[in-house]
Every structure is written in structure tokens, then in C-alpha cells.
Homo-oligomer: A and B are copies of this chain.
């Protein structure tokens, strides 16, 4: 095995052409005689020639690497979403490079070293790392796509799940089902998405023209995870005042809640209390939960984000895009609409 990779010069020599001809052979727009191109490709194949991206990057100032910035892979929905992003990025012939900025204290460091790679673009998914990161890249002329973030940034493209619509849909279902007393639950740590979802829910119920016979209350649990749902459930059971419908701004909380309810044996879902979640995480469909939820299509979000990035690479100076991804109710057992 010759450890040294073949270079275009090697190929040129073997093919009996100049190095620049080899380079041109790989440019589809370049007009080159069919025969030479064939010669070149043949030689390239023989030598297992592969372009050296580093050299290419020096000239293009672009690595075809796309930074996928996320905060905390612990949250499984985030990681589900990340997977979709990876796939979408790959499909465009780009390469996903993950950056987890869980540790906020390292954010600056991470960010600095990131600038070293000549990323073609950066996709920032929901989480803390926002303005600072986005601006640093935009300042350097690297396209940035923001996903599920408040739209403070001026120059970045933005893809958002329609969080308000999600909340509204849940509310409408409860109204249509004739619920009397409903609740919306989100984590204390207010994420953009959760706040919007909650607002959408409350907003839909508080509209003045709406039949006002339905009570709404907003409640909070510590975090946005399963365990917080358990705790919240226990407390609600203990304190009494169980509503007949609850909208959880995150599926994980809902799953925890469901387990708490089942374990207590006091209430029955959906008879005593109907549950609607939001996200449609993988386990939402598992029989143990059978969670009716507002789906956020990770795939759709991901491909939109990557398409936006692609578009910006093609037209760097186009005006920023802002796109909303629709919400849809997925009916399962935890809430069944009456017909």
C-alpha cells in the first residue's frame, strides 16, 4: 500500500497530459475533448485518485462542510432532529460536522476553533447558542440558517415549526371535544418553542368571540423531560383539581405524566383526562403511551433548513428567507376526538 495519496499531478503524468487538464476534467462546464477526459478518468481510477479537499478549500474558501450546531444531544427529540439534518446534508453532497455546545462555558472556545474550518454553512438548531454564534459566522460571510429560534437575527435564514399553530390546534381539539377545564404545561426554562406553543394554546382559548365556558390554566414543570412529567403528574394528582384536558408543550413531559397517572391508578386516560403532546417523538406511538400529539416533522424541517442553506450558497445576496413548517394533529389513544 502506498500510503501517499495520488495527486492530480500523478494522474496527469500517467495520462500524459498536464496537471491543469486533469483538474479541468472534473469540471463539467469545462470544454474538454471526450478522449482526453476519458484518458484522465482512466488514469485517475487506476491510481485511486481523489481530490484533496484541503487544497480545494484553500481556493474556493469553502470546505463543503456544514456545521450543525446543537445544544445538548441529551434531549432525544433534538437528536432525532439532528439525524434528519445529517441525512439532508449528506443528500446535497455536503458533509455534516456536529458541534455540541452543551457546555456554555466552552461556547466561546468552540466557536473560535470552528471558525478555523472554512465551513460552507452553519445550521443552528434550537438552544442557547444564538446571536453570538450566528453573528460571528455571518460576519465572515458564512451563511447561517436558524431553526426554531426567535427571529432577532437580521441576516440569517430562519426555519420555524409553526409553534403557535401547534398550540392553537391542540386548543381547538379540546374545544371541539367539549372540554371544560384545560391546562397547558411547559418547562420553567422557557425555550422559544415552548413559549410560542403555550401562547398559541392560550390565545386560541381566550379569543373574545369564543364560547367562554372553558377554563384555561398554565402550569410549569422544572425541565422539558420525562422525569419532570412524572413529578408534575404526582403533584397534580396529590393536589387535586385534575383538568379534563392537558396540552403538554413537549412529548417527553407528556410521557412522564402518563406514566405517573397510570401508576397512581386514580385517573384514566383519556376518559378522565385527555392528553395532547407536541413534537411526535419516536416513542409517542408506542402502545405504552399512544400519545395524541401535534407533529413537528423533523424530516421536513431538516430538508427545509438544508434547502435554505443551499439556496443561499447559490445566491449569497438574496434577501433572508423566513419559513414556517406546518403543524398537524396525530390522533392516538391519549385523546380521541368525538365525531
Contacts and interface: CB of A to CB of B under 8 A. Distances in A.
Contacts of A93: 113
Nearest to A289: B288
Interface residues of A, number: 56
Given A116-B53, A288-B288, A282 B97 contact: no
A141 interface: yes
Residue of A1, A95, A102 with highest tally of chain B CB at under 10 A = A95
A223 to B, nearest CB: 15
Contact of A288 (B73, B76, B98, B262): B262
A283 interface: yes
In the complex, the count of this chain's copies comes to 2
A286 B76 contact: no
A96 to B, nearest CB: 5
Contact of A97 (B65, B113, B118, B141): B65
A294 to B, nearest CB: 21
A86 B58 contact: no
Interface string A31-66: 000000000000000000011111111100001010
A74 B80 CA distance: 8
30 contacts: A1-B140, A3-B140, A50-B116, A53-B54, A53-B117, A54-B57, A54-B58, A54-B63, A54-B117, A54-B118, A55-B58, A65-B97, A76-B282, A79-B79, A79-B80, A79-B83, A83-B100, A87-B100, A95-B97, A95-B99, A96-B97, A97-B97, A97-B98, A98-B98, A259-B286, A259-B287, A260-B287, A262-B288, A263-B287, A288-B288
